[in-house]
Chains A and B, each alone.
Chain A
Amino acid sequence: MTLIYEAPAGDAKRERRLHAIVIGVADYPHLLHGTGPQAAYTFQLGQVEHPKPSAIAITKWLIEEYRNPEVELGSVELLLSPGETWQRADGTAVDVARATFDEIKSATAAWHARCHSNPGNTSFFYFCGHGMNYLTQLLLPQDFGTAEVAIPWDRCIDFTRFLTAMRGCAARTQLFFVDACRNQPEPLSALEPYGNPLVFANSNVPPPNRLVFYAAAPEQAVPLRKTGGTTALAEAFLKAMRGAAAQKPSKAWRVSLFSLSGPLVQLVSKIAARDDLEQTPDPRPEGKDVVLHELDTPLIFTQIDCETPLARREAAIELVPDMHSMWLKRVSAAGNSRPWLDDVELGDWEVLANFKSFAPYQEKVEIGTPFFEWMIER
Chain B
Amino acid sequence: MPPAAVEIVAQDLQTMKRMLVRSGRTEEVETSAPARFIRVHLPSGRVVSIARSGTMQRVTRDMLTPPNARRESAVKEDYTPTARRRFGIPDARNTELTGAMWEQRTGEGSSSSQWLWSLDGGKCAAQGLRWVFAGDSLRPFELSGRFGRSSVGVSIPGDTQSVSIESDRTDPKRQRIQLFSRSKVGDTLLNFLRNGKLLEAETATDLAARVFTPPVIDPFAAAIAGYLLLRLHDAQRLEPHLNALVEDFPDLADGPVIHAGYLMLRSPQDTEGIASLLELAIERGMPVYTEGLRMLVDGLLTLGDRGFERVRELRGRLGHVLWESPVRTLLTQADSPTPLPRVIVTCGDPL
Interface residues of A (CB under 8 A from B): 135-136, 160-161, 164, 167, 189, 203, 207, 209, 213, 217-219, 247-251, 256-259, 261-262, 264-266, 280, 282-289, 346, 366, 368-370, 375
Contacts and interface: CB of A to CB of B under 8 A. Distances in A.
A257 B199 CA distance: 9
A247 B302 CA distance: 35
Contacts of B321: 218-219
Interface string B178-215: 00000000000000000111111010000000000000
A262 B49 contact: no
21 contacts: A135-B311, A161-B301, A164-B302, A167-B268, A203-B268, A209-B233, A219-B323, A247-B15, A247-B199, A248-B14, A258-B198, A261-B197, A264-B196, A265-B45, A265-B195, A282-B323, A283-B196, A286-B233, A287-B233, A289-B198, A289-B199
A285 B14 contact: no
A135 B312 contact: yes
A258 B265 CA distance: 19
A207 B14 contact: no
B195 A248 contact: no
A207 B232 CA distance: 11
A258 B39 CA distance: 17
A18 B195 CA distance: 26
Contacts of A203: 268-269
Contacts of B39: 368
A370 B196 CA distance: 14
Contacts of B230: 286
B233 A285 contact: no
Contacts of B47: 369-370
Given A258-B199, A280-B324, 13 more contacts: A136-B301, A207-B265, A209-B233, A217-B324, A251-B12, A258-B198, A261-B197, A262-B45, A262-B199, A266-B195, A285-B198, A368-B49, A375-B68
B14 A251 contact: yes
A262 B196 contact: yes
Contacts of A265: 45, 195-196
Contact of B195 (A135, A213, A218, A283): A283
Interface string B92-123: 00000000000000000000000000000000
A135 B265 contact: no
Nearest to A253: B13
Contacts, number: 92
Interface string B260-275: 0000010011000000
Contact of B37 (A256, A346, A366): A366
Contacts of B12: 248, 251
Interface of B: 12-15, 37, 39, 45, 47, 49, 67-68, 195-200, 202, 230-233, 265, 268-269, 294, 298, 301-302, 308, 311-312, 315, 320-321, 323-324
A48 B51 CA distance: 47
Contacts of B200: 262
A358 B341 CA distance: 44
A217 B323 CA distance: 7
A262 B195 contact: yes
Contacts of A219: 320-321, 323
A236 B228 CA distance: 26
Contacts of B196: 213, 261-262, 264-265, 283-285
Nearest to A368: B49
Contacts of A283: 195-196
